[in-house]
A = this chain, B = another copy of it.
Amino acid sequence: MKFTCPKNALVQAIQIVSKAVSSKPQMPILSGIYFNANENILELQATDYELGIACKIEAQIDEPGAIVLSGRYMQEVIRRLPGEEVRLEFNREEKIVNITSNTADFTLLSLPANEFPVIQPMTGNMNFTIRDNILRDLVKKTVFSCSNDEARPVFTGCLLDVNNSEVTMAATNTHRLSVKKEILDEFNGSIKIIIPAKVLNELLRIMVSEIPTNVKVNCSYNQISFSFDNVYLTSRLIEGQFPDYKRVIPPEFKTNVKIHTHDFLSAVDRVSLISRAGEYNIIRLNFSEGKVLISSNNPDIGKAEETVPVSIDGPDVTIAFNAKYVTDVLKNIDGEEFYFSLNQSLNPAAVKLENDDTFTYIVTPVRTAQ
């Protein structure tokens, strides 16, 4: 194997696949990146068996072949090479790879390529295409609501529910719920699967191109793949039944409050400096007389309060939340203003956007003394 390619393209491809390189690999080969050179295309792959990422770049292939190299060292070495081009040559007898770029000359030991579990393109029978900005929006507005608790796997992923052209993504950790709906250009089947949050966060990280693109999604009962630009990402799915989240969305709210997102978010951020040291990070919101009084209290530190003008439609409400459950959603929605919809102190509340029925966030309040 022998190829030459632009350094920047190689750095980028390594960055993309490297998130699938195991930090604690089950087998030594999984600490490596697989390089396959063939017909002027260099393909890189990495997998930890749960998540697999492949990325193709153009290269001048002088001799086709496949090798595996340490993910950690490739990332460090290639990034710092002095030249604009990188030349890589495999010495089959010595099982070493020679990498040269301008004045720099590295020789790295290789891992046995035949041991690498090469990612095979999925042949699932459910396929649809979704625009990248729509997929990004579905993920961004829901994935933060997932749980980290591996003991209850269904809460560590997002539900993807496609029904004809209607697509819904939902996530919950049982204390909060995000639901986002979109319309596909076309799809006539139905899918209901749970995708690990980790994989969706990787998608957000990789899918940053400003040029609009289509993402091809392919699903089977236990696997999903996303294919766009030069990237192919595949993951196992989470088994189990996603809870019937629609039941926790209150049918109506008595109080609707219109709030300036940035002012409210900054104030909650400040007030929660005091509550953050406590186990539950509790802030109290008192909606009354055209303003919300945000307060927190920690007997070891002190207390904080701040007032933000709002526009209240309905009865006054005093309610308390885990501050993180309020700030997380506000950091992930766009829009200068949002609506806080409430019933009573112990009833779930909702965060919504103006003139936008596609997004709903439900958060359970906490019971506090007084």
Contact = CB atoms under 8 A, between A and B. Distances in A.
A29 B335 CA distance: 45
A81 B270 contact: yes
B304 A266 contact: no
Interface residues of A, number: 32
A305 B103 CA distance: 9
A274 B96 CA distance: 14
Contacts of A346: none
Contact of A105 (B76, B82, B304): B304
Contact of A107 (B107, B300, B303, B307): B303
Interface in A68-115: 70, 73, 76-77, 80-82, 96-97, 103-109
A1 interface: no
A96 B304 contact: no
Contacts of A81: 270
A195 B182 CA distance: 65
Contacts of A77: 270, 273, 304
B301 A105 contact: no
Interface string A256-275: 00000000001101110110
Interface in A219-270: 266-267, 269-270
A302 interface: yes
Contact of A306 (B73, B105, B305): B105
A308 interface: yes
A78 to B, nearest CB: 10
Interface string A40-63: 000000000000000000000000
Given A82-B266, A103-B308, A106-B303, 17 more contacts: A70-B301, A73-B274, A73-B301, A76-B273, A80-B266, A80-B270, A80-B273, A82-B306, A97-B302, A104-B267, A104-B304, A105-B305, A106-B274, A107-B303, A107-B304, A108-B301, A109-B302
The 6 closest A-B pairs by CB, nearest first: A108-B302, A106-B304, A107-B302, A104-B306, A107-B303, A80-B270
